[in-house]
């Protein structure tokens, strides 16, 4: 019986059909989707932290407003994506509370890129332009995922990310055409973020934990390397056009395939960060823990006077 269902399910996917929350799905499909979606939600929430540090310090009222609005969007994305995850997790007994508990306990993954410090204002521009640019590659590809509720929410998220890209590009352009100190600050930020950007798309395909089934079920539709190449094709020329120097002497384009060949971006560092050893991983999780502890009385008050004693 369940064999028949599985055959039927795979036939639907192969025909291009989309899976809705209430449809039958193999438990492994549910778990894989859930892992992907929760990691995305966690990343939006944790991703707000490095840029958030710059809201109080943004130079100019216009910048203050635009960083604030961007961080607000990221947190809004987290909220929407957790809702999609909750629907998926319900049959497994997994709630948003569990997801947030796992996150702050350091048991859940969030994107490596949000484990790095953002020490200058130029980092805010580079994050919004290039990290959001990288995210848009990944999320743009996921618009074709087979899990329909996720694809729907991604359409809205991608539209907002495109605005963030413009915000980031505007900061970067302003600095690139600014004073010498501003240009140096920008170059420094690019040097800090280049390796994390290559890491962003995950390890080379032969080391990726994504199984053949992930693609057959169309949970994901593009491999890590395909996404990385798509990013490099778009952004390497743009970065160079600004007069910035990409910190990779081996970077060159293969004239035949158009693929970019790049120096080894230290995959050991990548795996170290995946396992929770990023420069700011613990500090940022600690911030979330502290927030939870300090604000817990508010949640209790909202639960009502009887349970708040």
Please report, for residues 114, 263, 272, the alpha-carbon distance to residue 35 in angstroms, rounded to integers and kept in the order given. 18, 30, 20
Q: Which is nearer to another protein, 174 or 226 (CB)?
A: 174
Interface of this chain with another protein, residues 1 to 60, rule: CB under 8 A? 45, 48-49, 52, 55-60
Interface of this chain with another protein, residues 268 to 307, rule: CB under 8 A? 287, 291, 294-302, 304-307
Q: Which is nearer to another protein, 119 or 237 (CB)?
A: 119
Interface of this chain with another protein, residues 170 to 229, rule: CB under 8 A? 174, 178-179, 181-182
Q: Which is nearer to another protein, 42 or 224 (CB)?
A: 42
For residue 37, which of 197, 157, 131 has the smallest C-alpha distance? 157
Report phi then psi at 7, rounded to 5. Answer: -60, -45
Least distance (Å) between residue 296 CB and another protein: 8
Q: Which member of 2, 20, 28, 72 binds another protein (CB under 8 A)?
A: 72
Is residue 111 within 8 A of residue 47, CB to CB? The reply is: yes
Is residue 215 within 8 A of residue 131, CB to CB? The reply is: no
Please tell me whether residue 95 binds another protein under the rule CB under 8 A: no
Number of residues that bind another protein (CB under 8 A): 47
Please report, for residues 12, 18, 28, 265, the alpha-carbon distance to residue 1 in angstroms, rounded to integers and kept in the order given. 17, 22, 17, 48
Is residue 95 within 8 A of residue 89, CB to CB? The reply is: yes
Least distance (Å) between residue 189 CB and another protein: 13
Residues forming a β-bridge with 261? 252
Sites of contact with another protein (CB under 8 A): 45, 48-49, 52, 55-65, 68-69, 71-72, 75-76, 78-79, 82, 121, 174, 178-179, 181-182, 287, 291, 294-302, 304-309
């Amino acid at each position: 019986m369940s064999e028949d269902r599985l055959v039927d399910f795979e036939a639907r996917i192969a025909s291009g059909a989309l899976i809705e929350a209430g449809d039958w799905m193999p438990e492994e499909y549910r778990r894989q989707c859930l892992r992907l979606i929760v990691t995305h939600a966690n990343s939006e929430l944790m991703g707000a932290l490095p840029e958030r540090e710059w809201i109080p310090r943004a130079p100019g009222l216009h910048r203050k407003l635009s960083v604030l609005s961007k961080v607000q969007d990221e947190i809004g994305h987290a909220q929407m994506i957790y809702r999609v995850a909750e629907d998926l997790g319900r049959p497994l007994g997994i709630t948003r509370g569990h997801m947030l508990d796992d996150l702050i306990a350091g048991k859940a993954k969030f994107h490596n890129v949000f484990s790095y410090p953002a020490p200058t204002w130029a980092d805010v521009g580079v994050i919004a332009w290039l990290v959001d640019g990288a995210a848009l590659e990944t999320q743009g590809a996921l618009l074709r995922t087979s899990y329909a509720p996720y694809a729907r929410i991604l359409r809205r998220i991608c539209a907002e990310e495109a605005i963030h890209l413009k915000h980031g590009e505007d900061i970067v352009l302003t600095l690139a055409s600014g004073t010498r100190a501003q240009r140096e600050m920008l170059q420094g930020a690019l040097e800090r973020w280049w390796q994390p950007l290559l890491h962003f798309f995950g390890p080379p395909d032969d080391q990726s934990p994504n199984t053949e089934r992930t693609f057959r079920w169309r949970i994901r539709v593009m491999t890590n390397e395909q996404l990385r190449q798509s990013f490099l094709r778009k952004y390497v020329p743009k970065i160079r056009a600004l007069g910035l120097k990409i910190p990779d002497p081996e970077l060159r384009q293969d004239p035949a395939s158009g693929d970019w060949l790049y120096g080894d971006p230290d995959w050991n560092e990548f795996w170290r960060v995946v396992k929770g050893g990023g420069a700011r991983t613990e500090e940022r999780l600690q911030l979330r823990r502290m927030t939870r502890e300090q604000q817990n009385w508010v949640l209790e008050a909202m639960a009502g006077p009887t349970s708040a004693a």
